[in-house]
Every structure is written in structure tokens, then in C-alpha cells.
Copies of this chain bind each other. A is one copy, B any other.
Amino acid sequence: MGCYIEPRFFLAIVFSVFWRCVIDVDGFRFEVIATDAGTHARAGVLHTPHGIVETPVFMPVGTLGTVKTLSQQELRDLDARIILGNTYHLYLRPGMDLMAEAGGLHEFMNWDRAILTDSGGFQVHSLADLNKITEEGVVFQSHIDGSTHLFTPEKVIEIEHVLGADIAMMFDECTPYPSSRDYAQVAGERTVRWAKQCLDAYDGYGRKSLAGHAQALFGIVQGSTYRDLRERFTEETVALNFPGYAIGGTCVGEPKEDTWEAISTVVSILPADRPHYMMGSGTPEDLIQGVMRGIDMFDCVMPTRNARNGMVFTQRGKLSIRAARHAREFEPLDSECACYTCRNYTRAYIRHLHHTREILGLRLSTIHNVHFYLNLMRQMRQAIIEGEFAQWQRTFLNFYKGNEDGEIQE
């Protein structure tokens, strides 16, 4: 006796299987164009419906539809190719009705380059006032007004479908540090189950945003600091065949050696032809360490948040522009920097702006720091392509950590 399947269901299954076997769908494609001989570092190109992103790449964080203090024109001038938006924050403000009406986040904020949205998995744990995790999802209270909300895998994919980022992250259960092995296993298993639900919901939208752009859904691997769990969850997530993969649950306070062991473990199993994204990292040294281990994508609030606190990055290490010693320095933040800030303003002026709490001080420091981070990635990419990554790295760190001016250490 045969098994009757309705033609439309049959077609949907065939289509879905086919779809999951390629990542070169509708404007999203990743290619590795060079690999480093001595490390796992690689240079690539990520094709998105909103332009090309050269990897390794740092994605400035634009939590609420704005990279804090910067205009979209400044982001273009800095040649940011992709920025990050936060699902949790945008869901609460301005909310999804407005976002749908606006035509998605690109239209809302007038940014025609690529966007990645996180899934809120991190924020519902770190920001929301209360949260309760069940198999269904996470119930949490808004940090704005205390209202109660439920994020399920399907709900998050729906939100990201409306936001319409080029890359949407799956909803995961981000394990804090430290986590017991039992909890890490429970959370990691749940994350794999949610991964399937997210993929199904994503397929349900035809892998497209509400506005009609193709979207790439990335899987997230948890497993805390347990090597075998990391291996197992990586294999199970990779089996689902996502267009890209992120390593979650690092940069949550664990020792650096645990971070890098987790990263190396996961990346060694991830398919080489998919982008590898290390979430929430980090310092310039972290970016170098991550690239060495085969990471292609990074995001972190460090360059922007530190800038607003007067902490700026230079080729010779960090400095605190508020310090009295900079009051009479009529030179740029970094004499080797080509950013708008360094081409036009002195440390003395920027320090004065910080001291008097003028917004231009926050802006100029942010422009500089974002330029520093993006430029660091461009330098690494160039070095990988030219086969000089090891040498570049030594030279950079020699200056950066050599710290010749006796500036603040990491």
C-alpha cells in the first residue's frame, strides 16, 4: 500500500531539502578567498542582499537602530559594511507593528548595507527583570516598563522576519559562566531543539524578510566550557545545515583559555565553507586570537561604549582621553590614524569636550574607535591575503602591547 502525499506537501519537502543543501540562495553566499598557512585564519567575502561584506569583519553594534552617537553617513564613511541590531531592544521599542509599517529595520533607519540581528537570547537573560525558561521559550519582563513577554523560537523568527536583517540569529539559551555540566547539557540540547524549530519557522517565511529580502539564518552552538558538549552540539547543529554558525556562551566572564578552547573545538567541526561568528567579542587582542582560530565575524560594544567613557584605542595601546596628561597635547588621538577625528581634532580639544560633557566628544571618540576596529580587521584581511598574517600580528601586538607611552593596560 502506497503512502499518499499531497503534491503541495511533496513539493514543499523537496524544496526544503534542496534549500538546506546550498547556501548560495537569493543573494546570500560566502566564499573563502585566502587562508593563512600557519593558523586557521581566513579571508572571505560574504554576499548579502545589501552588499558585500569582506571578512574577517567587525560589526558595530546598533542596538536600537543606531550605532550610538553615529549617523548612517558616518558609518558609510567609516566603510562599515554590516552592523548589528538587537531583536530584544527593537521588539520593545519601537515595537514590531511600527517596524512592519516602516518596511523593516533597513528602511526604518535608512541603512542600505547589511544588518545582522541577534535573537534576544542573550538579552532576555542579562537585561530582562525576570525570566523563566521552559521548553516552549522564555517568559521575561521588559526592563523598560515591566510588561511580560514570551519569546519562543517561532516568535523570535517572526520578529526577525519583520526586522528583515540580512543575517538573523536563531533563538538560543545562552549559558552563563560558570554553568554546571548538567545545566550546560540541558540548555545545549534545548538550543538544538530550538534550532530545528527556528529553521522550520524560517522556511515557513520562504527564508525571506517581510519586505521580501532573502535572509540567512545562523545556527548557534552552546555547550559552555565542556569540550564534549561543544563537540556534540556543534555536530548536531551542523547537521541542520545552517547558512552560517555562531559560537554562543563565550565572552560571558569565563577565563580566556576556556574561551579559546571552546572556539577552537567548535570551529574545527564547523564546515569551512560557512561563515563562523564569535558573538560578543572583544578586545583588539581577542579579535586577533579569534581570527587565528578561524573566526570570520565579530561584534562587541567595546569600541563604542569605551569611546563614550573616554577610552580610545591607538596603535600604541589604549588611552583615557580624560586624563590630565592629555590636556595640552595638540596632536591627534593616534598620529598614525586616518579617521575624521584624527585628521581634524587634537587630544586637547577632545579632552575638553569630554570634560565639559559635550556630545561632540562622544562622537569623535566613537568615530575613532570604530575606525580603529574596522581598520584592524582590514589590516588582518590584507595580511592573510598577502600571506603575512604571522608577521603582521607580531608587529601590531609589539606596538599595541609594547605600550611605549605607559598608557592604560587592558
Q: Which of A43-83 contact B (CB under 8 A)?
A: 64-66, 68-73
Q: Give per-residue flags for A212-247: 1 if the beta carbon is below 8 A from chain B beta carbons, else 0.
A: 000000000000000000000000000000000000
Q: Are B73 and A340 in contact (CB under 8 A)?
A: yes
Q: Are A358 and B73 in contact (CB under 8 A)?
A: no
Task: Give chain B residues whose Cβ lies under 8 Å from the Cβ of A340.
Answer: 71, 73
Residue from B66, B346, B359 in contact with A353 in the complex, judged by beta carbons closer than 8 Å? B66
Minimum distance in angstroms from A368 CB to a CB of chain B: 13
Minimum distance in angstroms from A65 CB to a CB of chain B: 7
Minimum distance in angstroms from A303 CB to a CB of chain B: 15
Q: Are A108 and B66 in contact (CB under 8 A)?
A: no
Minimum distance in angstroms from A75 CB to a CB of chain B: 11
Residue from B73, B345, B363 in contact with A359 in the complex, judged by beta carbons closer than 8 Å? B363
Q: Give per-residue flags for A365-377: 1 if the beta carbon is below 8 A from chain B beta carbons, else 0.
A: 0000000000000
Task: Give chain B residues whose Cβ lies under 8 Å from the Cβ of A344.
Answer: 72-73, 110
Q: Are B352 and A69 in contact (CB under 8 A)?
A: no
Distance in angstroms between the alpha carbons of A73 and B98 in the assembled complex: 33
Question: Do A352 and B65 form a contact, CB below 8 Å, given A328-B101, A344-B110?
Answer: yes
Distance in angstroms between the alpha carbons of A69 and B344 in the assembled complex: 16
Distance in angstroms between the alpha carbons of A327 and B358 in the assembled complex: 28
The 9 closest A-B pairs by CB, nearest first: A66-B360, A94-B352, A69-B359, A64-B356, A66-B358, A110-B344, A93-B356, A359-B359, A108-B349
17 A-B pairs with CB atoms under 8 Å apart are A64-B352, A64-B356, A65-B353, A69-B359, A70-B360, A72-B344, A73-B340, A93-B356, A94-B348, A98-B327, A101-B328, A102-B330, A108-B348, A110-B344, A359-B359, A359-B362, A363-B363
Given A98-B352, A108-B348, A110-B349, 6 extra CB contacts under 8 A: A64-B356, A71-B364, A102-B346, A108-B346, A108-B352, A359-B362
